[in-house]
Every structure is written in structure tokens, then in C-alpha cells.
Homo-oligomer: A and B are copies of this chain.
Amino acid sequence: MTGPRFTNLANSLPTTVPFIGPETQERARGRPFLARLGANENIFGPSPKAIAAMERAARDTWMYGDPENHDLRQALAAHHGTTADHIVVGEGIDGLLGYLVRLLIEKGDAVVTSDGAYPTFNFHVSGFGGELHKVPYLGDQEDADALVERAREVGAKLIYFANPDNPMGSWHPAEIVSRVVEKVPDGCLLVLDEAYIELAPEGTAAKIAAGDPRVIRMRTFSKGYGMAGARVGYALGSVPLISAFNKIRNHFGMSRISQAGALAALMDQTWLQQTQRNVASSRNAMTAIARQNGLVALPSATNFLTIDCGRDGNFARKVLQELIARDVFIRMPFITPHDRAIRISCGGEQELAVLAKALPLALAAARG
């Protein structure tokens, strides 16, 4: 009586996961966090109209969601001035990145990303046997030119480029992104992860023709629209690429409630504008808290602040631990020298009060 035979690839994969959820930490600690500021969730939440739409849809959960995501894709097409055949909706950007990698990457295929960028993308690349080539950041920014250069050198099939960036919160103006697109090598695809784009300054989102075969843009309702728990992402790209998702995706994978919520959220751009103001003012308040504690918050085009703790990674890790010990859930960048910083998602008034109280104590303890 033996067990199943896994593929060699599956056997070779580690059991580590990209992120530990805050609930796991709460269970381990035996008490809840007072401020949940680690997962770049949008505490200002979804539009009340989206909440109402989801409440209404709750009683319709006996029905599968529309596997074509027709209504949402039509609305997204109108929003982006394109047609629905350029859009695929999926279970968050994470889900869509998984599908994309599966379509393009097999054992030994080269993929380029930045060293320290989104680990869930790396998780998918390794999960399909791809070979990751990591380019250093240029300071606190992804090095756009180096990414395409490295892609050319290694014959990469895929480049990951986030704008704005996570975990540093930095961004490139649209012109730089357009220049990168122009330089994508033949047969290579640029994954432009724009998860935070709704929270970035005007002029950050590049104009890219819907049919451009060199790039696929990833968007989400998790950040600006405040619906991380609904798991709705979408990708914009050329028709042949977008339609290829239909060969492999979980066609009935979308929650019907989430479909309804995302549609209502998209229709309420006024709420998004209010969120943009809330996020900007929270960033300002958190920057002030950092400054009061002698720390420097990096400029951010997102709903989180990356705060330089002024020493090395060991010190920042101590600060993080001391904040967590004081019931403030945060995360931090993975690699040196970014790990000199901690990363704190924008909070509301209550969370900022908790942070303002905990940060000086955490710093003192870390310096201790």
C-alpha cells in the first residue's frame, strides 16, 4: 500500500509558502492584532454599493457564477476603452499569474524578475519548473532597463515588472514603462503588475495598445477597490494571449458574490476617489509618525509605506518583532539592503493611534 506518484517537479518543490497570514500569527500568539497593517489590505474598504451588491448576491449563491464573467468584463472593457476579448477575470492576480506562468513556462525556461520583488510570482515560476533570473533593484526602484537587458541575455519568456512596486512602494512614470515595453525582446512577454495603480500619482499608468502582444497588465480589486477578500483580479492583453487562458483556467472558479461586488465597485468611481484621498492622508500621517520617531518613510505610490529604520536588516527585523509583540501586524522587505525597512499598510485613525503608541516603544526595545 504505497502512496501516489508525484511528478518529479512536485517532489522537488519546497513546502514553504509565500506568505504567512495574520490569522496564523494570531493563533500562534493566542491573541488578535490591534492593528492589521501587514498585508497591504485597504482598510477603507469597498464601496458601500459593492457591499450592498454582495449582500444581495448572498442569497443567489445556489447558482454558479457566470463562467465568462461577461458583465464584469464588459464593464471593465468600457472602463478601459477596449473590448472584452482583451480581458480575462480570475481569482486575484495570484491566480492569474499562476495561469500565465503555466501557459508559458516549462522546465528550464528563463524568467526575469527583480531580486526582492513579489514572491508569489516566483512561487508560480518555480512551481512550473521555470528558471528565475533576478536583477537587483536600482536603489529602491525596480531597474526597468536591466530587466529587459537580462531578458535578452538569457532568452527569457517572461519578465515580471511591478509598477508601482511592492515592497518598496516606488514607481516609474508612464514614459519609462512605455520605453520598457518598446525594448521587450521578441518572443518575450512583459507582465506588468499594476496591483496598486489606482493609488499611484497621475501619469503612472502607461498607455499601451490593447493588442500589443509584448505585454500583459495585471489589475485587481484587492487594493484600490478594497476587496482583497473577494479575490477578483483581471488581466489586459492581446486577444490571442487572453483567449489562451480559456484553455486552462478554472472556468467556474469565480465566486458569484465577488463578481457582483466587483461590478458594483467599478461603477462607483466616486468611492475610489475618496479612497485615494484617504490613502494619501493616511500616508502623510504615517510619514509624520515615522519622522517623529527619527525614521524616514520612502515615497510611496501605494497604500503602504516602506519605512527606513536607519540601520541594517537585523535591526529592522527586531523592530518588526517588537511591533508584532505590541499587536501591530506588519511585514518587511526580504532582501538586503531593502530589509533596512519595515512595510506598514495604510491604517485608519484607530490603527494610526495604535502605531503611534507602539512604534517608539518598539524602537526603544529594538535599540535596547
Contact = CB atoms under 8 A, between A and B. Distances in A.
Interface of A: 1-10, 13-15, 17-19, 21, 23-24, 27, 36, 39, 41-46, 50-51, 54-55, 57-68, 70, 91-92, 94-95, 98, 102-106, 109, 127, 157-158, 186-189, 212-214, 222, 226-231, 238, 240-241, 243-244, 246-248, 250-258, 261
14 contacts: A2-B213, A4-B213, A6-B103, A7-B105, A10-B104, A13-B247, A24-B67, A41-B63, A55-B55, A91-B253, A92-B253, A127-B247, A127-B248, A255-B257
A244 B3 CA distance: 12
A8 to B, nearest CB: 8
A261 B66 CA distance: 20
A253 B61 contact: no
B68 A102 contact: no
Contacts of A231: 65, 252-255
A330 to B, nearest CB: 15
A241 to B, nearest CB: 6
A295 to B, nearest CB: 26
A46 B61 contact: yes
Contact of A229 (B21, B102, B106, B257): B257
A243 B7 contact: no
A251 B18 contact: yes
**Secondary structure call for the A interface:** loop
Closest 9 pairs between A and B when the two form their complex, measured CB to CB: A229-B256, A4-B189, A3-B213, A54-B58, A61-B229, A23-B66, A13-B247, A45-B62, A255-B255
Contact of A228 (B14, B62, B105, B188): B62
A17 B62 contact: no
A228 B252 CA distance: 9
Given A10-B103, A14-B247, A250-B98, A229 B3 contact: no
A157 B6 CA distance: 9
Contacts of A230: 61, 255-257
Contacts of A253: 91-92, 94-95, 231
A5 B229 contact: no
A64 B41 contact: yes
Contact of A187 (B4, B229, B248): B4
Contact of A64 (B39, B60, B158, B251): B39
A94 B15 CA distance: 23
A56 to B, nearest CB: 9
B24 A63 contact: no
Contacts of A65: 229, 231
A262 B57 CA distance: 15
B251 A19 contact: yes
A246 B19 CA distance: 12
A250 B212 CA distance: 28
A102 B124 CA distance: 12
B46 A62 contact: yes
Nearest to A212: B1
